[in-house]
Amino acid sequence: MERRKIGSLEVSVVGLGCNNFGWYIDEAATREVVNAALDAGVNLLDTADAYDSGRSEMFIASALGSRRDEAVIATKFGSPMSDELKGARPEYVKFACDASLKRLGVEYIDLYQLHWPDPETPIADTLGAMNELVDAGKIREIGCSNLSVVQLRAARAAVGEGQRAFVSAQNEYSLLARDAETGVIPECAAEGMSFLPYYPLHNGLLSGKFRRGIDLPAGSRVAKMNDERREKLLNDRNMTIVEGLSAFAESKGHTLLELAFSRLIANPTVASVIAGATSAAQITANAAAAAWTLTDADIAAIDAITNAP
């Protein structure tokens, strides 16, 4: 599988989102997914301390075992673990890092990310703490998630002399949610940062499993949503786009899943597309989806279907 750079790290263009671990699948199933990912050439495992109160990190430790050196581990801090354990204060950043290292059973974290902006803490203070962790050998690179363009610029301006800046930004991005293309992605490109899309399949809507007039797949995340949220997701606009993209993919001998990944990967600022999986079959399919290299004409046709700016 193609590899791209996140700072000094080399990552597969398809990454494994680990938010399902603990919440949706148990330790044994996690082991199957992680091993299937590594076998398929997927080396980026993206998690967070808040995913099932740390169990995602613990399940990753169990799953990796002796294969630690095959993986690039990315985790995050800042989402509430409790009323007190949250945010981006320097003392908490260091505490959270040590806690993640223990749960993951590793000596260092490859990519440590601020999960959400913390309006109560100056970003310079957070960056200072993260740089101290790099100097201590506890993390290799620093990144962020869910920051706006304004917040990214503020973070860049707050980097002190000799300090490391964020090397990556992780935000929602899919063919049904393309706001990043006119904001955060161009900002990342201008600053030499890598972009990591999450929710690339838009809650599974771009997986190819959902069609108008067909019953929802049993056990799917969409099927478990409340009526209001499900109706908002399966609206006419989204379903019309899904039908158009499906027809285009099929006309080229490919699947909607392959199109959904390949269009994002076609952007050189995208380092790795982060997608979750609850089975070995899912991660294997995700890994294979990256093989379609789109032509300029393909990209133009896809963008016309989604009415991209």
* Residue numbers annotated as active site: 51
In angstroms, the CA 197 to CA 11 distance is: 14
Q: What are the structure tokens assigned to 133, written together?
A: 């962790």
3-state secondary structure of 158: coil
Residue 160 burial (CB count, 10 A): 11
Burial zone of 306 (CB within 10 Å; 0-12 exposed, 13-18 middle, 19+ buried)? middle
The answer to whether the beta carbons of residues 21 and 50 sit under 8 Å apart is no
Q: How many residues does the chain have?
A: 309
Q: What are the structure tokens assigned to 101, written together?
A: 């290292």
In angstroms, the CA 265 to CA 292 distance is: 10
16, 17, 163, 210 from 9: Cα distances, Å: 16, 17, 18, 36
CA pseudo-torsion sign 125, 172, 300, 40: positive
Residue 109 sits at φ, ψ, to 5 deg, of: -105, 130
Angle at CA of residue 92, ends 91 and 96, nearest 5°: 125
